[in-house]
Amino acid sequence: MARPPSALREHILRSALRLFSDSGYKGTSLHDIAQVAGCSKAALLYHFASKDAILTELLTPAGEGLAALRARLVELDGEQAARAAVTGFVDLALRFRLEVRILFQDIPMMTVHPALGAVPATIRRLLTALAGGSTAPSDTIAAYMVLGAVSVTAADDLGVPEEVLRAEMIRGALRTLGREPDRP
């Protein structure tokens, strides 16, 4: 039985997300996506003009999430900014864990992708917030360590329940930043 057009479009996106996260963007062809989605390449191209169009649609929500986090952090500073940056970044990394995996597989190409246009400015703001506004080397290095560790941890499948993973990622990030984690 044929899927309705919108259902096929969503199925193509889910298939592409899984393939991109498993094999990388470069390692996945339109043919691969069509095959996994159970449709012809022509049907895929009816819904998406190119592989890049699929990637753009997959990455846009993550880019929007980063932009929203950046906007929230602009009004904060010090301890409040650090805690909001840790919690917000962990939540984004977990929500978009497959997209993060794709980004890590093809980092040079992905960080300049138009769907993630706010990434450089957001990363700078996130690092400032994670460091609590401090420019001391110890705070700057800790902020970079948290940024990398949260991304890598979220991108891997550790087999841990999501709520445990989130709590431990936040607790570990706050400890790395030299801040006392909230008590459960």
45 — pLDDT class (breaks 50, 70, 90): very high
**Same domain as 84, residue 153:** yes
Domain annotation covers residue 183: no
* Rounded Cα–Cα distance for residues 171 and 105 (Å): 27
Same domain? 104 vs 44:
no
- 165 and 98 assigned to the same domain: yes
Sign of CA dihedral 51, 54, 56, 59: negative
Assigned domain for 53 exists: no
In the chain, what is the greatest distance between 2 CA atoms, to the nearest angstrom?
62
Q: Over 80: is that where the pLDDT of 29 sits?
A: yes
Domain residues for the domain of 94 are 59-176
Q: Tell me what the mean pLDDT of segment 110-114 comes to.
A: 66
CATH number at residue 14: 1.10.10.60
- Tens of pLDDT, residues 129-146: 999 999 999 999 999 889
Give the pLDDT score at 117: 64
d(CA 133, CA 138): 12
Reduce the secondary structure of 34-92 to three states and give it as a string: HHHHCCCHHHHHHHCCCHHHHHHHHHHHHHHHHHHHHHHHHCCCHHHHHHHHHHHHHHH
Is 119 a member of any domain? yes
pLDDT category of residue 1 using cuts at 50, 70 and 90: very low
Task: Identify whether 26 is part of a domain.
Answer: yes
pLDDT at 179: 86
Q: Is residue 163 part of a domain?
A: yes
Task: Report yes or no on 115 lying in a domain.
Answer: yes
